């Protein structure tokens, strides 16, 4: 029997945004997926991918990292390709321990701090987080069943 999503859950269909996939080589992955008809991958400004730097926390400790990012529409959401490119990060840990593959399901929120506090009350821990220009994101330790992390992003 399927469980109904709680009314106050940030992880419901109306907040769904993307799936995040960790890759070793952004250019090779984009070329391959595009050859299969998946994508058009790109970022604002017409670039295939961008490299972003983040400062935040990793398991409660200060951390800084870089990641190459590219997105493509996928149904009603997006596929987000992520290639770790420097520093200690949850993404690099995943690549080192599991190789390439599905890492997270991403959702949009209008209040990241509120949702972090509400999930903490349910025992859901933040694995890593960073804030950028009043927005930010947090990855949550929801992989205990199914192995997939969840992300909340405030735009």
Q: What is the pLDDT of residues 47-66, one digit of tens each?
A: 999 999 999 999 999 999 99
Q: Which CATH architecture has domain 16-42+49-154?
A: Roll (3.10)
| Per-state percent for the chain, helix, strand, coil, to nearest 5 | 20, 45, 35
**What phi and psi, each to the nearest 5 degrees, are found at residue 132?**
-145, 120
Q: What is the pLDDT of residues 20-56, one digit of tens each?
A: 999 999 999 999 999 999 999 999 999 999 999 999 9
Distance CA(46)–CA(13), nearest Å, equals 29
The DSSP H or E segment spanning 27 is helix 26-35
Give the CB-side neighbour count of residue 45, counting CA atoms within 13 A. Answer: 5
C-alpha distances (whole Å) from 127 to each of 3, 19, 56, 76, 84 are 25, 17, 11, 27, 16
Distance CA(117)–CA(115), nearest Å, equals 5
Assign residue 60 a region: left if phi > 0, alpha if psi is -120 to 50, beta otherwise? left
Q: Where are the domains of the chain?
A: 16-42+49-154
Q: What is the pLDDT of residues 62-108, one digit of tens each?
A: 999 999 999 999 989 999 999 999 999 999 999 999 999 999 999 99
Contact present, 142 and 150 (Cβ < 8 Å): yes
Which of the two residues, 150 and 10, has the higher pLDDT score? Answer: 150
């Amino acid at each position: 029997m399927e469980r109904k999503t709680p009314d106050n859950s940030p992880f419901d269909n109306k907040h769904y945004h993307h799936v995040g996939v960790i890759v070793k080589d952004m250019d090779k992955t984009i070329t391959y997926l595009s050859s299969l008809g998946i994508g058009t991958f790109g970022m604002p400004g017409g670039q295939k991918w961008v490299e972003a730097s983040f400062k935040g926390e990793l398991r409660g400790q200060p951390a800084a990292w870089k990641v190459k990012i590219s997105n493509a529409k996928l149904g009603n959401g997006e596929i987000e390709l992520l290639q770790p490119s420097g520093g200690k990060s949850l993404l690099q840990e995943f690549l080192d321990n599991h190789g390439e593959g599905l890492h997270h399901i991403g959702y949009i929120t209008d209040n990241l701090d509120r949702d972090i506090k509400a999930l903490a009350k349910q025992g859901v821990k933040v694995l890593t987080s960073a804030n950028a220009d009043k927005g930010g994101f947090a990855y949550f330790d929801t992989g205990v069943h199914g192995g997939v992390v969840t992300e909340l992003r405030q735009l």
